[in-house]
A = this chain, B = another copy of it.
Amino acid sequence: MSTIRGARERARIEVTAAIKDEARKQLAADGAAKLSLRAVARELGMVSSALYRYFPSRDELLTALIVDAYDAVGEAAETAHRASCDVPPVPAAHLARWIAVACAVREWALAHPHEYALIYGSPVPGYTAPQATVGPASRIGFVFIGIVEDAHRTDGLAVPPLAAELRPEAERMAADFAPDLPPAVVPALVAAWSQLIGLISFEIFGQFNRVVEAREAFFRQAVADLARNVGLLDDRADRTATRSAGA
């Protein structure tokens, strides 16, 4: 009896995966706004009404794709983080971990540009993300929070100065997301996260065409600068600014 249920469930899982795979293909071709249940069904040799056994509506299929994409970036980030903690002979410095995770996110985006656009590009008209997406969406954020918490515990942070008007908001954000961190670093961390996505979006969406050529080197430098903004300390020697001549 359990085998029968197992077989059914296995079939169900396979069909569900096939539907999502085909839907992802169509995402790449036509964009999320034009995702069509009928077209997916047609391509799979099914009839459209059969899809409703697997996804109760087009929006639910979209939601599943979005959740998968968030989970995929999140996992790429977590994997890179784990790997960076295991480098012999000693764990990598916190800044190196930060850069490693950022590069992993960028590489996932380069490998999956359409799924990236689905989660970090323009919202799909008429679609509002349900509560189910917020957990997967925040996985990646917690990786960066973890790195900074680690740094705070061991080396300490260069806590960035905080405008007085932002103090209560910083306290609230810290209480919500990272109670172990000094409140001032939490807005800086959220800003750095959005700025990291800004860097990647410009590259993926073509805004760096004819502007930036050495994309990876450029990215690494920018991401290291972001880390400095959140207070990660840099043990390299050559990181002091030089003053350019004024008038």
Contact = CB atoms under 8 A, between A and B. Distances in A.
Number of copies: 2
A159 B120 CA distance: 32
A213 B169 contact: yes
A239 interface: yes
A195 B152 CA distance: 25
Interface residues on chain A, size class: 35 or more
Contact of A121 (B121, B169, B187, B244): B121
Nearest to A129: B206
A162 interface: yes
A194 B204 CA distance: 12
Interface in A204-244: 205-208, 210-214, 217-218, 220-222, 224-226, 228-229, 231, 238-244
Contact of A198 (B158, B201, B224, B240): B201
Contact of A238 (B161, B238, B239): B161
Interface in A137-182: 137, 152-163, 165-166, 168-169, 172-173, 177, 182
Nearest to A182: B244
Contacts of A222: 187-188, 191, 194-195
Contacts of A117: 122-123
A64 interface: no
Contacts of A239: 161
Given A156-B246, A190-B218, A191-B221, 17 more contacts: A31-B33, A33-B34, A34-B125, A117-B123, A121-B122, A134-B210, A158-B242, A161-B240, A163-B217, A165-B217, A169-B212, A187-B218, A191-B199, A191-B225, A194-B199, A195-B195, A195-B226
A245 interface: yes
A30 interface: yes
A29 interface: yes
